[in-house]
Chain A
Amino acid sequence: MRRSWRMLLFFAGAAGIVCLFTLAAEPISQPRDVRNRYATAIISETFSQRNITDAVSAVNFDFRGFDTVGEEFILFVSVLGSLVLLRMVEDRKGKVLRDALEPWRDVGPSDAIRLWILAMIAPKVTFGIYIVTHGQLTPGGGFQGGVILATAALILYLGEGFTVFRDVISHPATEIVEGAGALGFVVIGMLAWVWGQPFLTNVLPLGKAHELTSGGTMALISISTGLEVAAGFILLLYAFLQENLSPVEET
Protein backbone atom coordinates (compact mmCIF):
# COMPACT_ATOMS: atom_id res chain seq x y z
CA MET A 1 0.00 0.00 0.00
CA ARG A 2 1.36 3.41 -0.90
CA ARG A 3 2.14 5.69 2.02
CA SER A 4 -0.27 8.33 0.81
CA TRP A 5 -3.09 5.78 0.81
CA ARG A 6 -2.05 4.67 4.25
CA MET A 7 -2.23 8.23 5.59
CA LEU A 8 -5.61 8.76 3.93
CA LEU A 9 -6.94 5.59 5.54
CA PHE A 10 -5.56 6.68 8.87
CA PHE A 11 -7.01 10.19 8.74
CA ALA A 12 -10.43 8.83 7.83
CA GLY A 13 -10.16 6.50 10.81
CA ALA A 14 -8.88 9.21 13.13
CA ALA A 15 -11.76 11.53 12.23
CA GLY A 16 -14.17 8.72 13.01
CA ILE A 17 -12.46 7.96 16.34
CA VAL A 18 -12.76 11.63 17.37
CA CYS A 19 -16.49 11.48 16.69
CA LEU A 20 -16.82 8.23 18.66
CA PHE A 21 -15.03 9.65 21.69
CA THR A 22 -17.10 12.83 21.53
CA LEU A 23 -20.23 10.73 21.81
CA ALA A 24 -18.77 8.78 24.72
CA ALA A 25 -18.06 11.84 26.87
CA GLU A 26 -21.00 11.14 29.15
CA PRO A 27 -18.99 10.14 32.24
CA ILE A 28 -17.03 13.37 31.83
CA SER A 29 -19.91 15.72 31.12
CA GLN A 30 -22.37 14.38 33.67
CA PRO A 31 -20.53 12.87 36.62
CA ARG A 32 -23.01 10.74 38.51
CA ASP A 33 -23.02 9.70 42.12
CA VAL A 34 -22.72 6.06 41.17
CA ARG A 35 -19.20 6.69 40.00
CA ASN A 36 -17.96 7.08 43.58
CA ARG A 37 -19.45 3.82 44.80
CA TYR A 38 -16.35 1.68 44.51
CA ALA A 39 -14.04 4.24 46.11
CA THR A 40 -16.51 4.89 48.92
CA ALA A 41 -17.06 1.19 49.54
CA ILE A 42 -13.34 0.71 49.95
CA ILE A 43 -12.31 3.89 51.76
CA SER A 44 -15.10 4.28 54.25
CA GLU A 45 -16.48 0.80 54.77
CA THR A 46 -13.75 -1.79 54.61
CA PHE A 47 -10.39 -0.14 54.32
CA SER A 48 -10.17 0.83 57.99
CA GLN A 49 -10.29 -2.83 59.03
CA ARG A 50 -6.91 -3.33 57.39
CA ASN A 51 -4.98 -1.05 59.75
CA ILE A 52 -2.99 0.54 56.98
CA THR A 53 -2.83 4.06 55.65
CA ASP A 54 -2.20 3.88 51.90
CA ALA A 55 -5.43 3.05 50.10
CA VAL A 56 -3.72 2.58 46.73
CA SER A 57 -1.53 -0.20 48.13
CA ALA A 58 -4.58 -1.73 49.76
CA VAL A 59 -6.30 -1.90 46.38
CA ASN A 60 -3.17 -3.21 44.71
CA PHE A 61 -2.16 -5.88 47.14
CA ASP A 62 -5.42 -6.81 48.81
CA PHE A 63 -8.79 -5.79 47.33
CA ARG A 64 -7.66 -6.26 43.73
CA GLY A 65 -4.57 -8.32 44.49
CA PHE A 66 -5.44 -10.81 41.80
CA ASP A 67 -4.91 -8.13 39.14
CA THR A 68 -1.47 -7.60 40.59
CA VAL A 69 -0.66 -11.30 40.20
CA GLY A 70 -1.30 -10.91 36.48
CA GLU A 71 0.59 -7.64 36.43
CA GLU A 72 3.63 -9.19 38.07
CA PHE A 73 3.64 -12.01 35.58
CA ILE A 74 3.39 -9.58 32.66
CA LEU A 75 6.67 -8.16 33.91
CA PHE A 76 8.06 -11.63 34.56
CA VAL A 77 7.40 -12.93 31.05
CA SER A 78 8.49 -9.72 29.37
CA VAL A 79 11.85 -9.91 31.06
CA LEU A 80 12.24 -13.55 30.06
CA GLY A 81 10.95 -12.66 26.59
CA SER A 82 13.54 -9.93 26.18
CA LEU A 83 16.25 -12.35 27.28
CA VAL A 84 15.01 -14.86 24.71
CA LEU A 85 14.81 -12.24 21.98
CA LEU A 86 18.27 -10.92 22.70
CA ARG A 87 19.59 -14.47 22.98
CA MET A 88 21.49 -13.70 26.08
CA VAL A 89 21.04 -17.11 27.57
CA GLU A 90 23.45 -19.44 25.86
CA ASP A 91 25.20 -17.38 23.25
CA ARG A 92 28.75 -16.25 23.57
CA LYS A 93 29.35 -18.09 26.77
CA GLY A 94 33.01 -18.35 27.67
CA LYS A 95 34.12 -15.73 25.19
CA VAL A 96 36.07 -12.63 26.08
CA LEU A 97 33.81 -9.67 25.50
CA ARG A 98 34.64 -6.04 24.98
CA ASP A 99 32.30 -3.14 25.65
CA ALA A 100 31.77 -1.11 22.49
CA LEU A 101 31.55 1.95 24.69
CA GLU A 102 34.82 1.10 26.39
CA PRO A 103 37.10 3.28 24.20
CA TRP A 104 35.60 6.47 25.47
CA ARG A 105 36.12 5.22 28.97
CA ASP A 106 39.75 6.36 28.62
CA VAL A 107 38.56 9.92 28.52
CA GLY A 108 35.39 9.10 30.45
CA PRO A 109 34.34 10.14 33.93
CA SER A 110 37.10 11.43 36.13
CA ASP A 111 37.81 9.72 39.42
CA ALA A 112 35.95 12.45 41.26
CA ILE A 113 32.80 11.91 39.25
CA ARG A 114 33.13 8.16 39.59
CA LEU A 115 33.42 8.48 43.32
CA TRP A 116 30.37 10.71 43.42
CA ILE A 117 28.36 8.29 41.26
CA LEU A 118 29.36 5.31 43.37
CA ALA A 119 28.61 7.20 46.56
CA MET A 120 25.00 7.40 45.40
CA ILE A 121 24.59 3.62 45.37
CA ALA A 122 24.22 3.11 49.11
CA PRO A 123 21.59 5.85 49.57
CA LYS A 124 19.74 4.56 46.54
CA VAL A 125 19.61 1.01 47.87
CA THR A 126 18.47 2.28 51.25
CA PHE A 127 15.79 4.45 49.68
CA GLY A 128 14.62 1.55 47.50
CA ILE A 129 14.31 -0.77 50.48
CA TYR A 130 12.45 1.94 52.39
CA ILE A 131 9.94 2.42 49.55
CA VAL A 132 9.42 -1.33 49.14
CA THR A 133 8.79 -1.95 52.82
CA HIS A 134 6.63 1.12 53.51
CA GLY A 135 4.16 0.53 50.66
CA GLN A 136 1.26 0.03 53.05
CA LEU A 137 1.98 3.26 54.94
CA THR A 138 3.11 5.84 52.41
CA PRO A 139 2.93 6.16 48.64
CA GLY A 140 5.10 3.45 47.14
CA GLY A 141 5.37 -0.29 47.35
CA GLY A 142 7.03 -3.12 45.53
CA PHE A 143 6.77 -1.79 42.01
CA GLN A 144 8.09 1.69 42.70
CA GLY A 145 10.76 0.56 45.17
CA GLY A 146 11.88 -2.25 42.90
CA VAL A 147 12.59 0.16 40.09
CA ILE A 148 14.58 2.40 42.44
CA LEU A 149 16.64 -0.60 43.53
CA ALA A 150 17.33 -1.48 39.91
CA THR A 151 18.60 2.03 39.20
CA ALA A 152 21.34 1.39 41.76
CA ALA A 153 22.68 -1.23 39.36
CA LEU A 154 22.41 1.22 36.49
CA ILE A 155 24.48 3.71 38.44
CA LEU A 156 27.10 1.07 39.02
CA TYR A 157 27.32 0.60 35.26
CA LEU A 158 27.53 4.34 34.63
CA GLY A 159 30.39 4.71 37.06
CA GLU A 160 32.39 1.57 36.38
CA GLY A 161 31.42 0.16 33.03
CA PHE A 162 30.05 -3.21 32.08
CA THR A 163 32.86 -5.40 33.30
CA VAL A 164 32.47 -4.34 36.91
CA PHE A 165 28.68 -4.40 36.55
CA ARG A 166 28.90 -8.02 35.42
CA ASP A 167 31.31 -8.98 38.15
CA VAL A 168 29.26 -7.46 40.94
CA ILE A 169 25.84 -8.58 39.78
CA SER A 170 25.75 -12.27 39.19
CA HIS A 171 23.42 -13.06 36.33
CA PRO A 172 22.26 -16.50 37.57
CA ALA A 173 21.61 -15.13 41.04
CA THR A 174 19.53 -12.29 39.64
CA GLU A 175 17.47 -14.77 37.65
CA ILE A 176 16.87 -16.78 40.78
CA VAL A 177 15.76 -13.68 42.70
CA GLU A 178 13.37 -12.78 39.89
CA GLY A 179 11.79 -16.22 39.89
CA ALA A 180 11.66 -16.24 43.68
CA GLY A 181 9.83 -12.90 43.71
CA ALA A 182 7.20 -14.20 41.30
CA LEU A 183 6.90 -17.50 43.14
CA GLY A 184 6.69 -15.69 46.48
CA PHE A 185 3.55 -13.81 45.48
CA VAL A 186 1.80 -17.02 44.42
CA VAL A 187 2.93 -18.87 47.55
CA ILE A 188 1.69 -16.08 49.83
CA GLY A 189 -1.61 -16.24 48.00
CA MET A 190 -1.76 -20.00 48.45
CA LEU A 191 -1.19 -19.74 52.23
CA ALA A 192 -4.85 -18.90 52.63
CA TRP A 193 -5.88 -21.59 50.17
CA VAL A 194 -4.19 -24.25 52.28
CA TRP A 195 -6.28 -23.11 55.24
CA GLY A 196 -9.45 -23.37 53.18
CA GLN A 197 -9.75 -19.63 52.52
CA PRO A 198 -9.94 -18.12 49.03
CA PHE A 199 -6.66 -17.44 47.23
CA LEU A 200 -4.94 -14.22 48.39
CA THR A 201 -7.00 -13.86 51.56
CA ASN A 202 -5.14 -11.74 54.05
CA VAL A 203 -4.66 -14.38 56.74
CA LEU A 204 -1.79 -12.90 58.71
CA PRO A 205 -2.22 -10.64 61.77
CA LEU A 206 -3.02 -7.13 60.58
CA GLY A 207 -0.84 -5.34 63.13
CA LYS A 208 -1.32 -1.75 64.24
CA ALA A 209 -1.84 1.20 61.92
CA HIS A 210 1.19 3.40 61.22
CA GLU A 211 3.55 0.53 61.98
CA LEU A 212 5.81 -1.37 59.63
CA THR A 213 4.20 -4.68 60.51
CA SER A 214 0.68 -3.57 59.65
CA GLY A 215 -1.32 -4.92 56.74
CA GLY A 216 -0.73 -8.67 57.14
CA THR A 217 0.18 -10.32 53.84
CA MET A 218 0.29 -6.95 52.08
CA ALA A 219 3.77 -6.16 53.36
CA LEU A 220 5.06 -9.58 52.30
CA ILE A 221 3.50 -9.29 48.85
CA SER A 222 5.01 -5.86 48.49
CA ILE A 223 8.45 -7.21 49.35
CA SER A 224 8.23 -10.15 46.96
CA THR A 225 7.01 -7.81 44.23
CA GLY A 226 9.93 -5.52 45.01
CA LEU A 227 12.39 -8.39 44.61
CA GLU A 228 10.82 -9.43 41.33
CA VAL A 229 10.73 -5.92 39.89
CA ALA A 230 14.29 -5.06 40.96
CA ALA A 231 15.71 -8.33 39.62
CA GLY A 232 13.62 -8.07 36.47
CA PHE A 233 14.82 -4.60 35.62
CA ILE A 234 18.43 -5.51 36.40
CA LEU A 235 18.11 -8.45 34.01
CA LEU A 236 16.72 -6.12 31.36
CA LEU A 237 19.70 -3.81 31.91
CA TYR A 238 21.97 -6.80 31.61
CA ALA A 239 20.36 -7.95 28.38
CA PHE A 240 20.40 -4.53 26.75
CA LEU A 241 23.87 -3.54 27.95
CA GLN A 242 25.49 -6.73 26.71
CA GLU A 243 24.24 -5.80 23.26
CA ASN A 244 27.13 -3.31 23.21
CA LEU A 245 29.61 -6.09 23.65
CA SER A 246 31.45 -7.70 20.85
CA PRO A 247 33.60 -10.81 21.13
CA VAL A 248 37.32 -10.08 20.81
CA GLU A 249 39.91 -12.40 19.41
CA GLU A 250 42.06 -13.63 22.23
CA THR A 251 45.61 -12.56 21.69
Chain B
Amino acid sequence: MEPALSYAAYAAAIWLFLIGLYGVVKSRHLVNLCLSLTVVQSSTYVLLTIIGYRPGLPAPIFTDGLKPGSAAVDPIVQALMLTDVVVEATVVALLLAITIKVHRDAGTADPDKVDMMRG
Protein backbone atom coordinates (compact mmCIF):
# COMPACT_ATOMS: atom_id res chain seq x y z
CA MET B 1 0.00 0.00 0.00
CA GLU B 2 2.61 2.55 1.10
CA PRO B 3 4.97 2.51 -1.89
CA ALA B 4 2.00 2.51 -4.24
CA LEU B 5 0.69 5.66 -2.58
CA SER B 6 4.06 7.35 -2.82
CA TYR B 7 4.39 6.45 -6.48
CA ALA B 8 0.91 7.76 -7.20
CA ALA B 9 1.73 11.04 -5.45
CA TYR B 10 5.02 11.31 -7.33
CA ALA B 11 3.23 10.73 -10.62
CA ALA B 12 0.70 13.37 -9.61
CA ALA B 13 3.51 15.85 -8.98
CA ILE B 14 4.99 15.27 -12.43
CA TRP B 15 1.53 15.44 -13.98
CA LEU B 16 0.75 18.75 -12.25
CA PHE B 17 4.07 20.19 -13.35
CA LEU B 18 3.55 19.27 -16.98
CA ILE B 19 -0.14 20.07 -17.25
CA GLY B 20 0.55 23.46 -15.69
CA LEU B 21 3.37 24.02 -18.14
CA TYR B 22 1.04 23.00 -20.95
CA GLY B 23 -1.42 25.62 -19.73
CA VAL B 24 1.30 28.29 -19.74
CA VAL B 25 2.42 27.37 -23.25
CA LYS B 26 -1.09 27.14 -24.65
CA SER B 27 -2.54 30.12 -22.79
CA ARG B 28 -4.48 32.77 -24.69
CA HIS B 29 -5.20 34.93 -21.65
CA LEU B 30 -2.85 36.26 -19.02
CA VAL B 31 -5.13 35.37 -16.11
CA ASN B 32 -5.24 31.84 -17.43
CA LEU B 33 -1.45 31.95 -17.60
CA CYS B 34 -1.17 33.04 -13.95
CA LEU B 35 -3.44 30.22 -12.83
CA SER B 36 -1.51 27.71 -14.92
CA LEU B 37 1.60 28.89 -13.13
CA THR B 38 -0.01 28.12 -9.77
CA VAL B 39 -0.73 24.62 -11.07
CA VAL B 40 2.96 24.24 -11.92
CA GLN B 41 3.78 25.35 -8.43
CA SER B 42 1.38 22.94 -6.76
CA SER B 43 3.56 20.13 -8.10
CA THR B 44 6.25 21.27 -5.68
CA TYR B 45 3.78 21.06 -2.78
CA VAL B 46 2.92 17.47 -3.63
CA LEU B 47 6.55 16.51 -4.01
CA LEU B 48 7.57 18.13 -0.71
CA THR B 49 4.65 16.46 1.06
CA ILE B 50 5.57 12.95 -0.02
CA ILE B 51 9.23 13.56 0.76
CA GLY B 52 8.33 14.50 4.33
CA TYR B 53 5.59 11.93 4.85
CA ARG B 54 6.21 9.16 7.39
CA PRO B 55 3.66 6.36 7.37
CA GLY B 56 1.41 6.37 10.39
CA LEU B 57 3.09 9.20 12.27
CA PRO B 58 1.26 12.26 13.64
CA ALA B 59 1.77 15.92 12.80
CA PRO B 60 4.75 17.56 14.54
CA ILE B 61 2.62 19.49 17.04
CA PHE B 62 3.44 18.25 20.50
CA THR B 63 0.29 19.00 22.44
CA ASP B 64 -2.65 16.84 23.47
CA GLY B 65 -0.68 13.96 24.81
CA LEU B 66 1.99 13.77 22.12
CA LYS B 67 5.23 13.71 24.07
CA PRO B 68 7.86 16.22 22.93
CA GLY B 69 10.59 14.35 21.12
CA SER B 70 8.46 11.47 19.92
CA ALA B 71 8.51 10.61 16.24
CA ALA B 72 6.36 12.67 13.88
CA VAL B 73 6.27 13.56 10.22
CA ASP B 74 9.02 15.80 8.95
CA PRO B 75 8.47 19.43 10.08
CA ILE B 76 11.21 20.77 7.81
CA VAL B 77 9.44 20.17 4.52
CA GLN B 78 6.36 21.82 5.98
CA ALA B 79 8.39 24.91 6.76
CA LEU B 80 9.84 24.82 3.25
CA MET B 81 6.35 24.54 1.86
CA LEU B 82 5.28 27.62 3.80
CA THR B 83 8.03 29.56 2.04
CA ASP B 84 6.86 28.06 -1.22
CA VAL B 85 3.29 29.23 -0.59
CA VAL B 86 4.47 32.77 0.08
CA VAL B 87 6.53 32.71 -3.11
CA GLU B 88 3.48 31.63 -5.07
CA ALA B 89 1.21 34.27 -3.59
CA THR B 90 3.69 37.02 -4.35
CA VAL B 91 4.56 35.94 -7.86
CA VAL B 92 0.87 35.71 -8.71
CA ALA B 93 0.26 39.16 -7.23
CA LEU B 94 3.01 40.64 -9.38
CA LEU B 95 1.80 38.86 -12.50
CA LEU B 96 -1.80 39.92 -11.96
CA ALA B 97 -0.66 43.50 -11.52
CA ILE B 98 1.17 43.24 -14.84
CA THR B 99 -1.92 41.66 -16.40
CA ILE B 100 -4.13 44.57 -15.37
CA LYS B 101 -1.71 47.09 -16.81
CA VAL B 102 -1.20 45.17 -20.03
CA HIS B 103 -4.92 44.86 -20.52
CA ARG B 104 -5.43 48.52 -19.94
CA ASP B 105 -2.62 49.63 -22.26
CA ALA B 106 -2.85 47.10 -25.06
CA GLY B 107 -6.57 46.41 -24.89
CA THR B 108 -5.94 42.68 -24.89
CA ALA B 109 -4.68 40.13 -22.40
CA ASP B 110 -3.60 37.57 -24.97
CA PRO B 111 0.12 37.03 -24.43
CA ASP B 112 0.53 36.23 -28.11
CA LYS B 113 -0.90 39.54 -29.21
CA VAL B 114 1.27 41.81 -27.12
CA ASP B 115 4.59 40.88 -28.68
CA MET B 116 6.46 44.14 -29.00
CA MET B 117 9.71 42.51 -28.16
CA ARG B 118 10.12 40.58 -31.39
CA GLY B 119 13.66 40.16 -32.75
In the complex, what distance in Å separates the CA atom of A1 from the CA atom of B68?
59
Residues of chain A contacted by B7 (CB below 8 angstroms): 25, 28-29
Residues of chain A contacted by B78 (CB below 8 angstroms): 56, 59
In the complex, what distance in Å separates the CA atom of A78 from the CA atom of B37?
17
Q: Does B108 contact A (CB under 8 A)?
A: no
Cβ-defined contact, A143 with B93, below 8 A:
no
Residues of chain B contacted by A47 (CB below 8 angstroms): 68-69
Q: Does B72 contact A (CB under 8 A)?
A: yes
Cβ-defined contact, A143 with B86, below 8 A:
yes
Cβ-defined contact, B62 with A143, below 8 A:
no
Cβ-defined contact, B93 with A79, below 8 A:
yes
Q: Mark B54-83, 1 if CB is under 8 A from A, else 0.
A: 100001111100001111111110111011
Residues of chain B contacted by A10 (CB below 8 angstroms): 21-22, 25
What class of interface size applies to chain B in its complex with A?
35 or more
Q: Does A17 contact B (CB under 8 A)?
A: yes
In the complex, what distance in Å separates the CA atom of A67 from the CA atom of B77?
13
Cβ-defined contact, A6 with B63, below 8 A:
no
Chain B residues packing against A (C-beta within 8 Å): 3, 6-7, 10, 14, 17-18, 21-22, 25-26, 50-52, 54, 59-63, 68-76, 78-80, 82-83, 85-87, 89-91, 93-94, 96-98, 100-101, 112
Q: How many A-B residue pairs have CB under 8 A?
A: 132
Cβ-defined contact, B63 with A137, below 8 A:
yes
Cβ-defined contact, B61 with A59, below 8 A:
no
In the complex, what distance in Å separates the CA atom of A210 from the CA atom of B61?
11
Cβ-defined contact, B97 with A86, below 8 A:
yes
Chain A residues packing against B (C-beta within 8 Å): 3, 6-7, 10, 14, 17-18, 21, 25, 27-29, 31, 35-36, 38-40, 42-44, 47-48, 53-56, 58-60, 64, 67-68, 70-71, 74-75, 78-79, 81-82, 85-86, 137-139, 143, 209-210, 236, 239-240, 243
Residues of chain A contacted by B96 (CB below 8 angstroms): 240
Cβ-defined contact, A210 with B63, below 8 A:
yes
Q: How far is the CB of B91 from chain A (nearest CB, A)?
A: 7
Residues of chain A contacted by B17 (CB below 8 angstroms): 17
In the complex, what distance in Å separates the CA atom of A215 from the CA atom of B50?
29
In the complex, what distance in Å separates the CA atom of A17 from the CA atom of B11?
12
Closest residue on chain A to residue B98 by CB atoms? A85
In the complex, what distance in Å separates the CA atom of A54 from the CA atom of B63?
8
Q: How far is the CB of B31 from chain A (nearest CB, A)?
A: 13
Residues of chain B contacted by A38 (CB below 8 angstroms): 74, 76
Cβ-defined contact, A53 with B68, below 8 A:
yes
A75-B86, A78-B94 known; A44-B69 Cβ under 8 A: yes
Residues of chain A contacted by B14 (CB below 8 angstroms): 17-18, 21
Cβ-defined contact, B79 with A59, below 8 A:
yes
Residues of chain B contacted by A75 (CB below 8 angstroms): 86, 89-90
In the complex, what distance in Å separates the CA atom of A233 from the CA atom of B57?
35
Cβ-defined contact, B74 with A39, below 8 A:
yes
